[in-house]
Structure 1
């Protein structure tokens, strides 16, 4: 009898391990204006429409962005979880297609300046979370902050949203330079956003790779070209996601085809597939001592 129970326990253990495997994707961009949050939210919704359990961690300052974009009400955020006032499950906001959004702290505190106790609290909050998740999408803040670096370093895939503006290209380059030089991130998936044509997207990607190939040791892959689309603005005015408001419009079709790719990307095997592992990575500072004075 005991051996039978033991096998059951093992099976249960394996089951929970399997369901704990989470794909963590960071979406980043330059100083803003490239449509990063819009891409993040719509990509999340498109993946949820494909049957995935998707959670978005809004690591931009507060939920100002997602909140305004989707007209959602926010009562509590991650700071309430860290202070012990709420569980992670309590602060989740349900968005279109059943996506769950974790509102981050509202600007008052940078998540990379957490105390060791708060770090531990964050990891505990995620490991105690009852809500199941297949894909955790992290919408990072604009620019190059410690927070963006930490999230990107810990994630399994880093998506960089760029548009055909010189400042967007220099921003993306600067970001990849720091991530590759100081944080061992070598692979970047590029989304060309608001392009006039597929060809313009490819030319934008070529511009970027010309500089990265010359100066950085990184591997770039163009994973999507999203057309400039008037319906994106129309949807925003209605406080709706464009993939839902205009499912057949150019931008929606591009995001949906990206979603189909992303859900097929192999999930990490072993420890790196666990949310706890992601969070451990997140709170570890990269080791600068070996870099000398470079």
Structure 2
């Protein structure tokens, strides 16, 4: 397996004129809450709104972004780590002009990468010479090192919760570890599969009460995605609901989430630790000052 530095060095140098990229990590304390569905539909909603968007699958051992979109990748991140291709070779064009970097499923060694290899992947992704406005990072569920590193390297973190006690408990555990071990002090909370809007707010309030008591973290309520038969049908068809059924309740909700995300304050500069597209963040203030 090549070193992380070797992975990054295989890529074409970035065009210095590219503007900073909005990087959003989507995470969850436990599996089964619809995290990947959120990542897929948020990415496509951003793309449909005119944002040039890259969806990065970092669920390194149990990846399924490509399955959800009906894509058949020739290469994945596992091939990059094995030295069989360069990272640029993995990029697929999905629906709506969305770019996708797929990972591998059923490759146990990918789920056991070292902390240094996770950082190497962050640097390698940052070398992709794509003119993107936003990148959505679909992480694995839980609090493994890779999840923490990819969340730390993003400018914004969305934690997905649903109406299960374990979901809220595990979401708190994830937020606690991100805060205390990685310095992430701002988290967006998205309630998924809710029966009515009030249920989504109640889930957020449960989480916010305990975090405000024990953690130095600012939680923001991003909104809720309704439980929707059209979403289930879209998953069965291996399509995003925002593409397959654009007027469905869940598709409308995803478009609203994308609208809110696009209004978040752009990154003003680097924060002093591992970060996606760090060079663009470093050079952007200098260009602004020169102008």
Q: TM-score range by the shorter chain?
A: 0.7 to 0.9
TM-score of the pair, normalised by structure 2: 0.83
- Deviation of 1:264 after TM superposition, in Å, equals 1.9
How large is the RMSD of aligned CA atoms in angstroms? 2.6
- Rounded Cα–Cα distance in structure 2 between residues aligned with 1:79 and 1:138: 17
- Deviation of 1:105 after TM superposition, in Å, equals 4.6
Query: In the alignment, is residue 92 of structure 1 matched against residue 91 of structure 2?
Result: yes
- Rounded Cα–Cα distance in structure 1 between residues aligned with 2:81 and 2:115: 9
The 1:274/1:59 distance shift into structure 2, 3 A limit, reads closer
- Deviation of 1:218 after TM superposition, in Å, equals 1.1
The DSSP-based 3-state class of the residue aligned with 2:25 is strand
- Deviation of 1:146 after TM superposition, in Å, equals 0.5
The DSSP-based 3-state class of the residue aligned with 2:56 is strand
- Deviation of 1:215 after TM superposition, in Å, equals 1.5
Unaligned runs of 5+ in 1: 1-14, 280-294
Aligned position for 2:123: 123
The answer as to whether partners of 1:21 and 1:134 remain within 8 angstroms in 2 is yes
Aligned position for 1:137: 136
The DSSP-based 3-state class of the residue aligned with 1:19 is coil
- Rounded Cα–Cα distance in structure 2 between residues aligned with 1:77 and 1:115: 19
The answer as to whether partners of 1:62 and 1:103 remain within 8 angstroms in 2 is no
Alignment coverage as a number of residue pairs: 264
TM-score of the pair, normalised by structure 1: 0.82
The DSSP-based 3-state class of the residue aligned with 1:141 is coil
The answer as to whether partners of 1:20 and 1:274 remain within 8 angstroms in 2 is no
- Deviation of 1:63 after TM superposition, in Å, equals 6.8
The 1:54/1:62 distance shift into structure 2, 3 A limit, reads farther
Aligned position for 2:31: 32
Instruction: Name the one with the larger helix percent.
Output: 1
Query: In the alignment, is residue 266 of structure 1 matched against residue 265 of structure 2?
Result: yes
The answer as to whether partners of 1:154 and 1:278 remain within 8 angstroms in 2 is no
Q: Which has the larger radius of gyration?
A: 1
Aligned position for 2:161: 162
The DSSP-based 3-state class of the residue aligned with 2:110 is coil
The answer as to whether partners of 1:56 and 1:139 remain within 8 angstroms in 2 is yes
Unaligned runs of 5+ in 2: 1-13, 281-291
- Deviation of 1:208 after TM superposition, in Å, equals 1.0
The 1:59/1:137 distance shift into structure 2, 3 A limit, reads same
The answer to which of 222-231 and 77-86 deviates more is: 77-86
- Deviation of 1:119 after TM superposition, in Å, equals 5.6
Query: In the alignment, is residue 146 of structure 1 matched against residue 145 of structure 2?
Result: yes
The answer as to whether partners of 2:154 and 2:275 remain within 8 angstroms in 1 is no
The answer as to whether partners of 1:22 and 1:274 remain within 8 angstroms in 2 is no
Matches within 5 A, 1:222-237: 222-237=221-236
The DSSP-based 3-state class of the residue aligned with 1:222 is strand
- Rounded Cα–Cα distance in structure 2 between residues aligned with 1:216 and 1:23: 26
- Deviation of 1:222 after TM superposition, in Å, equals 0.4
Query: In the alignment, is residue 184 of structure 1 matched against residue 173 of structure 2?
Result: no
- Deviation of 1:183 after TM superposition, in Å, equals 1.0
